[in-house]
Structure 1
Amino acid sequence: MARLLLSKATLSAQRQKLAAYQRFLPALDMKRQQLQGAIKQVEAQLQQQQQQQRQLEQRIAEQMPMLAETSIDLQGLCSVSRLRLQRRNVVGVWINELGDIEFDLVDIPLMAKPHWVAPLQQWLKEGMTLDVRQQLLQQQQIAMAAALRKVTQRVNLFDKVLIPDTRSNIRRIGIYLDDKERESVVTSKIAKNKRQAAGGL
């Protein structure tokens, strides 16, 4: 660490630094709070999507007990053919959101498969869409949590290190300069008294 010069110029520079840190800290703290709020929103959306997924699974289990029948080939009924994502900036963090999703649906000949395969195909589409949304929300969560960690580290750096250190430097320089000023006043008084004493002799 560089040695602190105890001078008026250094004192002025330290005061300017302190003012800059104190201006910057509230903006950082505001960003931290906004990120915390955005993360809570994503968590709420994720819980909602997971709830919808559970409801869908329950509906399928109740209405399609025949899925336990393994002799019917259900492979490839539905698959994602195109996924379009939209980029959005949330509190300085770029995230992906689902723009559009397209599916490849296997044609179901009326006589070749049971009647319940067509509604199952639609439910598979719904389930896959929910899966994609949940994956995107989890990615958003990770990105925002990383940004929050960085901002929190910066807030702590300013609040617990830079500002206290700068205040300490200002105090130290101030005490040194006051001592020097007192010393010079005392020295000049002593010199004046000596001159007067010499002149009086």
Structure 2
Amino acid sequence: MAIKFQYNKTSQQALAKQLQVRERALPTLKNKESALRMQVKNAKDKATELEEQLKKEMGLYDDMVRLWNEFDPSLAQIEDVELTTKKIAGVQTPVLEKIHFAVRDYNMFEKPAWFPDGIAILEKLVKLAIEKEVFERKMELLDFARKKTTQKVNLYEKVQIPGFQDAIRKIKRFLEDEENLSKAAQKIVKNRQQNVEVES
């Protein structure tokens, strides 16, 4: 990225301000990046843990597969999923508050005695599955923000800060050279005047 500037003190001061802003922001951005990296790992670990827990729970009921064929899945349905948001390192992430299930009335004398347990098992499995999805979404949002922050850190660290420093160095050298030329020109003029006075 080429930084546009002019060879004068005003441009030098403007570049110095821009450089200072970026140098001050860089540590904060690095902290944010590491915090996001840690939060992404935590969310990923939790999603994996819930995935394994869900598989384990479902494995417990593998021997009941024939019984599940009798079960009417329309008895219990998700009525509502309450989600709130929580800010983590400036990123809005979802938090699962509560899942509301609607259990349809049924005749307990006509259905098998294990149906209430079946409904409870179904609710437990659904809760694990939804919670896992919420953590996966949280991980995606945090990872996207982390990538953006990493890009900004790299932009500041590898492009903009060195670019501003280089531009300021060029302006300083130009102004020093200009000042030296001016002093040299003044000496020459002064020497000429002295020579003219001596000759007359």
What is the TM-score of this pair, normalised by structure 1? Answer: 0.90
What number of residue pairs does the alignment pair up?
198
Whether 1:88 aligns to 2:86 is yes
In 1: Cα distance, 2:159 partner to 2:112 partner: 70
CA displacement at 1:77 relative to structure 2:
3.1
Which residue is 1:28 aligned to? Answer: 29
Distance 2:89 2:67 in 1: 45
Q: Deviations over 1:65-122 (max 9, x none)?
A: 4337x4x243313211222112211111112211111212244544423333332221
The alignment status of 1:135 with 2:128, answered yes or no, reads no
2:18 maps to which residue?
A: 17
> Which position in structure 2 is the counterpart of 1:79?
77
Moved over 6 A (4+): none
Following the alignment from structure 2 to structure 1, what is the Cα–Cα distance between the partners of residues 24 and 71?
Answer: 66
Which residues of 2 match residues 39-58 of structure 1 at below 5 A? Answer: 39-58=40-59
Task: List runs of 5+ in structure 2 lacking aligned partners.
Answer: none
Q: How far has the Cα of 1:187 moved from its partner?
A: 0.9
Please say if 1:172 is aligned against 2:170. yes
What's the offset of the Cα at 1:50? 0.8
Separation in structure 1 between the aligned mates of residue 172 and residue 194 of structure 2, nearest angstrom: 33
Contact 2:3 / 2:167 at 8 angstroms: preserved in 1?
no
Cα drift, residue 2 of structure 1: 7.8
Whether the 8 Å CA contact 1:78–1:104 is kept in 2: the answer is yes
Q: Is the 8 A contact 1:108 1:118 kept in 2?
A: no
The change in CA–CA distance for 1:117 and 1:3 in structure 2 (over 3 A counts) is: closer
Counterpart position of 1:192:
190
In 2 relative to 1, CA 148–3 (structure 1 residues): closer, same or farther, beyond 3 Å? closer
Deviation at 1:3, TM superposition (A): 4.9
Q: Give percent identity, aligned residues only.
A: 25
**Could you say what the CA RMSD is over the residues aligned between the two structures, in angstroms?**
1.9
Provide the C-alpha distance between the structure 1 equivalents of 2:58 and 2:4, rounded to a whole number of angstroms.
67
Give the residue type in structure 1 aligned to 2:127.
T
